[in-house]
């Protein structure tokens, strides 16, 4: 059969009266949807305006690539990514198809064509259009069914509202009834080329097999058509008031391009605080537009909660609940008696539970950033004077002494005892600055890392120098505890010192220092090439500048620090070093970018915590279960957390830094 004759009549078998009713209902549903949506969008606009504006074209490109690929999910949960990918893709296609139908219909009416004489809805176009729509319909059905199954299993992290069930049931019904309507239409119209609508044709075949005839199909088609239409219009009207809204909010969120980099935070200056009179977030309108949108984009899927180390440790924190609790305040936004977000809506204890490990940010398919919300609210807690106890002490010590323990700056070089470590004054023509960090400077266990590091640098003939007594804490902890101004002061000091010595390249063994120098310092005027010691050492080994004995054969396991692996993507370099020394690596269940937190980040290192609910206990168990003789770390925080934890558990596993491991395999060269 020639394809030119392929088409189908729109509104076939629907009389003009019912058609008018349908138009009326459609306009009504559209109005409801648009007004509700408009109210919601207006609410977004009361947030702080975004710092960056993205051109529309860029937005659309970002949206298409990120939504259709579901890149985040595909990376973090490949299996789980299929359901939303099906639903999302299917929906997009169906929506587009429906719009095309409407265009055809209006065009035909304007042209005064007969019902069976479409403008473009025919021929080759139709032959492609129909199967695509069929596939999309199937995709939605499968995706929704899959999701319903997950909801029915009631994974603890999945949020449930009655309206969620209704929406899902509606979607399922829409898919099913759509194919039924199609099947009945095919029987009723008895038009040639039914194979183009292959699902519909199959349904029609089935119906005919059970005795549906062309005559009986007329009424059945009209009834199911109406059911389908009413449910469709109902869902359309309900889009802005149900979870379906996330498609729009999420779309807006995902169209931000480029997405925010993990490990970055928004800077607040004291001038801004003076101008606005607020610091941090205590009310919804202190949030950026982007953040307000994100509250509505969240579908409560709970993936963030599943990944959250604080939640796993029994802390009151669930990133999903934080987002949902804030979203729950949206209806009362801007009212006089709106509760204080930080403290009343989300408790202090919840906010202080976060280790800033960034797993929740990484895993969110819609680009919601619970960490940013938490730190914004911590900022309010810091600014409003509700910080006490050991966190207050640490912040005070950071501000006054430039290190978290309040130890004198004169002791910063004590770790070099017996070594010749050049300072920037001793060796002004250094190639790379070695950033020692507070832990290695003061903590006697971490000192071994720095001592190993400088011996390795010297063995490789690297011209390096350290800042010495003028180095201060980067302020990373302070910043993630919400104390932007102690951070700013420390950063200003360090940037000044680094600039004075024209530092351009920095190597550090601390991922927190690394992240801060790399992502926090540009805002403070410091722009450096920052490399982690694992990268630097791996390079020295591969260049042959370090001669390594590769016969260690030690069974070891390696823990990826959050701020090295997840946040800054450095996972191969440390493994290259492990391979170089011939270690047998037993990977932990969670490794690489999907690592699990030790519990020391986000300022939690400085909080008074009972041992039973300390974040990172599950990670400790993974390490002890792995049973390796040695767990290699590449972060002083992880080293301390695991060192303490393993010793308390009387575990035979010992903790060493990568540099210490390497130096033991260094071949003596004359």
Phi, psi of 433, rounded to the nearest 5 degrees: -95, 130
190 vs 390 by CB, closer to other proteins? 390
406 binds other proteins (CB under 8 A): yes
Choose the binding region for other proteins from 314-322, 323-331, 395-403, 566-574 (rule: CB under 8 A): 395-403
Query: Taking CB under 8 A as the criterion, which residues in 188-227 touch other proteins?
Result: none
Q: How far is the CB of 322 from other proteins (least distance, A)?
A: 22
496 binds other proteins (CB under 8 A): no
126 vs 487 by CB, closer to other proteins? 487
CA separation, residue 550 to residues 185, 331, 435, 537, 662 (Å): 73, 63, 28, 15, 10
Whether the CB-CB separation of 301 and 160 falls below 8 Å is answered with no
Nearest-10 crossing angle of helices 389-401, 484-500: 30
Kindly report the three-state secondary structure assignment for every residue of 390-423: HHHHHHHHHHHHCCCCCCCHHHHHHHHCCCCCCE
Q: Which of 204, 382, 433, 570 binds other proteins (CB under 8 A)?
A: 382
419 binds other proteins (CB under 8 A): no
429 vs 608 by CB, closer to other proteins? 608
- Segment holding 531, helix H or strand E: strand 529-532
Size of the site for other proteins (CB under 8 A): 53
Query: Taking CB under 8 A as the criterion, which residues in 558-587 touch other proteins?
Result: none
Q: How far is the CB of 270 from other proteins (least distance, A)?
A: 6
Q: Which of 270, 428, 431, 502 binds other proteins (CB under 8 A)?
A: 270
- Closest listed residue to residue 236, CA positions, set 20, 37, 87: 37
How many DSSP H helices and E strands does the chain contain? Answer: 28, 8
Q: Which of 407, 505, 528, 586 binds other proteins (CB under 8 A)?
A: 407
Q: How far is the CB of 394 from other proteins (least distance, A)?
A: 7
36 binds other proteins (CB under 8 A): no
Whether the CB-CB separation of 48 and 288 falls below 8 Å is answered with yes
What is the C-alpha separation between 557 and 583, in angstroms, rounded? 9
- Closest listed residue to residue 200, CA positions, set 186, 190, 188: 186
What is the C-alpha separation between 112 and 314, in angstroms, rounded? 68
Choose the binding region for other proteins from 228-236, 274-282, 422-430, 582-590 (rule: CB under 8 A): 274-282
418 binds other proteins (CB under 8 A): no
237 binds other proteins (CB under 8 A): no
- Closest listed residue to residue 646, CA positions, set 609, 610, 604, 598: 598
Phi, psi of 531, rounded to the nearest 5 degrees: -120, 150
- Closest listed residue to residue 482, CA positions, set 377, 407, 346, 354: 377
274 binds other proteins (CB under 8 A): yes
174 vs 310 by CB, closer to other proteins? 310
3-class secondary structure, 615: coil
585 DSSP β-pair partners: 556
394 binds other proteins (CB under 8 A): yes
Q: Any idea what DSSP says for residue 468?
A: G
Q: How far is the CB of 485 from other proteins (least distance, A)?
A: 4
Q: Which of 310, 341, 387, 424 binds other proteins (CB under 8 A)?
A: 387
259 vs 399 by CB, closer to other proteins? 399
What is the C-alpha separation between 182 and 43, in angstroms, rounded? 40
190 vs 276 by CB, closer to other proteins? 276
Residues 6+ apart with CB under 8 A from 331: none
Whether the CB-CB separation of 214 and 188 falls below 8 Å is answered with yes
C-alpha 481 chain-centroid distance? 20
Choose the binding region for other proteins from 101-109, 214-222, 292-300, 399-407 (rule: CB under 8 A): 399-407
Choose the binding region for other proteins from 177-185, 301-309, 402-410, 575-583 (rule: CB under 8 A): 402-410
What is the C-alpha separation between 75 and 407, in angstroms, rounded? 43
Q: How far is the CB of 506 from other proteins (least distance, A)?
A: 23
Whether the CB-CB separation of 281 and 373 falls below 8 Å is answered with yes
Q: Which of 443, 476, 520, 560 binds other proteins (CB under 8 A)?
A: 443
355 binds other proteins (CB under 8 A): no
640 binds other proteins (CB under 8 A): yes
642 binds other proteins (CB under 8 A): no
Q: How far is the CB of 377 from other proteins (least distance, A)?
A: 14
611 binds other proteins (CB under 8 A): yes
537 vs 607 by CB, closer to other proteins? 607
Binding site for other proteins (CB under 8 A): 270, 273-274, 277, 279, 382-397, 400-401, 404-408, 410, 439, 442-446, 483, 485-486, 606-611, 614, 640, 643-645, 647-650
């Amino acid at each position: 059969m020639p394809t030119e004759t392929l088409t189908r009549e729109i509104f076939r078998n629907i009389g003009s009266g019912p058609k008018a009713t349908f138009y009326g209902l459609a306009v009504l549903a559209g109005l409801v949807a648009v007004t509700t949506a408009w109210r919601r969008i207006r609410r977004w606009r009361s947030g702080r305006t975004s710092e960056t504006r993205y051109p529309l074209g860029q937005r659309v490109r970002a949206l298409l690539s990120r939504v259709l690929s579901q890149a985040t999910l595909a990376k973090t949960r490949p299996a789980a990514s299929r359901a939303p990918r099906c639903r999302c893709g299917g929906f997009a296609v169906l929506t587009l198809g429906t719009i095309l139908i409407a265009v055809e219909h209006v065009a035909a009416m304007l042209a005064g064509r007969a019902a069976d004489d479409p403008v473009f809805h025919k021929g080759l176009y139709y032959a492609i259009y129909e199967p695509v729509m069929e596939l999309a319909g199937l995709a939605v059905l499968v995706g929704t069914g899959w999701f319903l199954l997950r909801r029915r299993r009631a994974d603890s992290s999945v949020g449930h509202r009655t309206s969620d069930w209704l929406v899902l049931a509606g979607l399922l019904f829409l898919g099913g009834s759509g194919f039924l309507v199609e099947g009945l239409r095919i029987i009723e119209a008895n038009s040639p080329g039914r194979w183009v609508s292959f699902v519909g044709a199959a349904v029609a075949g089935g119906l005919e097999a059970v005795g549906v005839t062309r005559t009986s199909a007329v009424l059945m088609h009209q009834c199911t058509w109406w059911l389908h239409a009413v449910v469709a219009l109902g869902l359309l009207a309900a889009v802005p008031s149900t979870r379906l809204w996330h498609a729009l909010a999420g779309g807006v969120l995902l169209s931000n391009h480029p997405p925010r980099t993990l490990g970055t935070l928004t800077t607040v200056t004291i001038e801004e605080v003076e101008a606005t009179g607020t610091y941090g977030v205590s009310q919804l309108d202190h949030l950026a537009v982007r953040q307000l949108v994100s509250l509505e984009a969240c579908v409560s899927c709970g993936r963030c909660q599943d990944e959250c180390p604080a939640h796993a440790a029994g802390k009151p924190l669930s990133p999903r609940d934080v987002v949902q609790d804030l979203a729950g305040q949206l209806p009362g936004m801007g009212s006089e008696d709106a509760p204080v977000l930080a403290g009343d809506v989300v408790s202090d204890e919840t906010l202080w539970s976060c280790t800033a490990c960034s797993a929740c940010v990484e895993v969110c398919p819609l680009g919601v950033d619970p960490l940013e919300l938490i730190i914004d609210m911590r900022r309010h807690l810091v600014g409003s004077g509700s910080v006490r106890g050991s966190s207050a002490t640490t912040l005070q010590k950071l501000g006054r002494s430039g290190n978290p323990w309040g130890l004198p700056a004169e002791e910063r070089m004590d770790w070099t005892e017996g070594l010749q470590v050049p300072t920037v004054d001793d060796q002004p023509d250094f190639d790379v600055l070695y950033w020692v960090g507070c832990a290695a400077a003061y903590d006697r266990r971490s000192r071994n890392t720095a001592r190993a590091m400088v011996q390795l640098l010297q063995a490789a003939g690297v011209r390096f120098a350290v800042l010495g007594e003028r180095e201060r804490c980067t302020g990373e902890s302070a910043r993630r505890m919400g104390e932007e101004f102690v951070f700013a002061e420390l950063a200003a000091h360090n940037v000044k010192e680094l600039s004075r010595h024209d530092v351009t390249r920095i190597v550090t063994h601390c991922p927190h220092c690394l992240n801060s120098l790399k992502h926090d310092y540009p805002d403070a005027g410091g722009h450096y090439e920052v490399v982690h010691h694992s990268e630097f050492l791996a390079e020295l080994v591969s260049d042959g500048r370090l001669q390594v004995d590769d016969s260690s054969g030690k069974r070891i396991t390696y823990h990826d620090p959050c701020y090295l692996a997840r946040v800054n993507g450095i996972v191969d370099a440390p493994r290259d070093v492990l391979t170089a020394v011939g270690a047998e690596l037993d990977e932990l269940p969670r490794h690489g970018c999907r690592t699990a937190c030790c519990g020391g980040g986000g300022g939690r290192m400085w909080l008074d915590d009972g041992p039973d609910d300390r974040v990172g206990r599950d990670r400790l168990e993974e390490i002890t279960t792995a049973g390796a003789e040695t767990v290699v770390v590449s972060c002083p925080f992880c080293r301390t957390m695991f060192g303490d934890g393993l010793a308390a558990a009387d575990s035979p596993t010992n903790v060493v830094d990568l540099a210490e491991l390497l130096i033991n395999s260094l071949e003596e060269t004359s």
